[in-house]
Amino acid sequence: MNFRRMAGWRGLLAGVLLAVAASAAPAAANKWGADYFPDVVLTTQDGRQVHFYEDLVKGKSVAVNVIYTSCVDECPLETARLAEVQRLLAGRVGRDVWFYSISIDPERDTPKVLKAYAARFGVGPGWLFLTGRKQDIQLLTRKLGLSRTSDAFSKDGHASSLMLGDDRGGQWMRTSSVDNPRFLATTMASFFQWKDALPTQDYGQARVVDISKSQYLFESRCSSCHTMGAGDRIGPDLLNVTQRRDAAWLARYLKEPERVLAERDPTAVALSKKYGGVPMPNLSLGEDDVRGLVAWLAQQSRAATSAGASPNAGAGNAQHHHHNAPEPRR
């Protein structure tokens, strides 16, 4: 499968978002402020009580999503992607923008649970995980546009959305929280008008991207948590995984990891324990996707071995520091 001019298309979209935000800011400066957002009391992962609008949003640029720590589908992927975005933004989080993840399961997601969850993903400063009274969170997510009537029928109980807000300019935009981290980082730079963080080259000069569908799946769905030969990240290094794991087991685990773990499969249980209980999300892969991804992982491992990589790469310990992880191979 050919993915051509993807960088150019994304850059064009980011530029359009910047232009729209800049032109609309004066007209909507006060529409989404203190008179709109409920100033409910929330509790951070450190046990500190804060008011949503006065303490977290007023005068700031923010990125807000909803999660719950027992989720086994999109939430781990959302958090992993945003942790990658935080790293790519290189110190802007907590200075130019603040990240907030609000639990929609406050009965179970206590500050202690949220703190442990954040630690598993290597979350850095400027990103708060928040809990509170269920009715307050329901009101808040409705006001933020992060809840829908159809949420009760989805497997996650919520959409994988990210709200970007510029309180000073009165601008808000919804995007996907599971998009490519580099695209998300560029989208934020455009929306918040960080001109020094935007690409300086003409997107018409972007190189042609010619990769297989399986490589695209790995880079778009897997690389926030895994590398190929660069060491453990949130999950294990996948170099030589096709040699370490039985082929049928690997295919099933890629297809339905939550079911394999629920069955108390020894390998799945050991992986969960080793990597801090972060669940492998169900990526909704089809049979052809799984076969192609397994074949690509095997091909990459053979190529790395031929080039002199250690055959034991990826079998190291589980200690991983996401913010210092090397870039995934392209």
Q: Residue 123: its pLDDT value, please?
A: 95
Say how far apart CA 266 and CA 10 lie, in whole Å. Answer: 42
Determine contact, residues 148/53, Cβ cutoff 8 Å: no
For 67-84, write each residue's pLDDT tens digit.
999 887 788 889 999 999
Torsion angle of the four alpha carbons 23, 174, 46, 274, in this order, in degrees rounded to the nearest 10: -130
Is residue 296 scored above 50 in pLDDT? yes
Q: One-letter amino acid identity for 112?
A: K
State the average pLDDT over residues 107-118. 96
Tokens of 329: 């191979």
For 184-238, write each residue's pLDDT tens digit.
999 999 999 998 877 666 667 667 667 888 888 888 778 878 989 889 888 899 9
Place of tokens 């509170």: 132
Q: Residue 8: its pLDDT value, please?
A: 42
Calculate the alpha carbon distances from 166 to 58, 74, 98, 188, 203 in Å. Answer: 9, 26, 11, 10, 26
Q: Could you give the percent of the chain with pLDDT greater than 70?
A: 78
pTM of this prediction? 0.72
Tokens of 164: 């970007």
Say how far apart CA 305 and CA 327 lie, in whole Å. Answer: 20
Place of tokens 């959409």: 159
Q: Residue 126: its pLDDT value, please?
A: 97
Question: Counting every residue, how long is the chain?
Answer: 330
Determine contact, residues 60/167, Cβ cutoff 8 Å: yes
Tokens of 215: 């490589």
Tokens of 103: 């639990």
Tokens of 264: 């108390």
For 132-152, write each residue's pLDDT tens digit.
999 999 999 999 988 755 454
Q: One-letter amino acid identity for 303?
A: A
Q: Residue 307: its pLDDT value, please?
A: 83
The burial of 31, by beta-carbon neighbours within 10 Å (0-12 exposed, 13-18 middle, 19 or more buried), is given as exposed
Calculate the alpha carbon distances from 237 to 101, 117, 233, 275, 320 in Å. Answer: 27, 21, 7, 12, 11
Domains and CATH numbers, the chain: 6-203 (3.40.30.10), 213-307 (1.10.760.10)
Q: Are strands 61-67 and 98-103 parallel, antiparallel or unpaired?
A: parallel
DSSP labels, 10-49: HHHHHHHHHHHHHHHTTTTTTTTSTTTS---EEEETTS-E
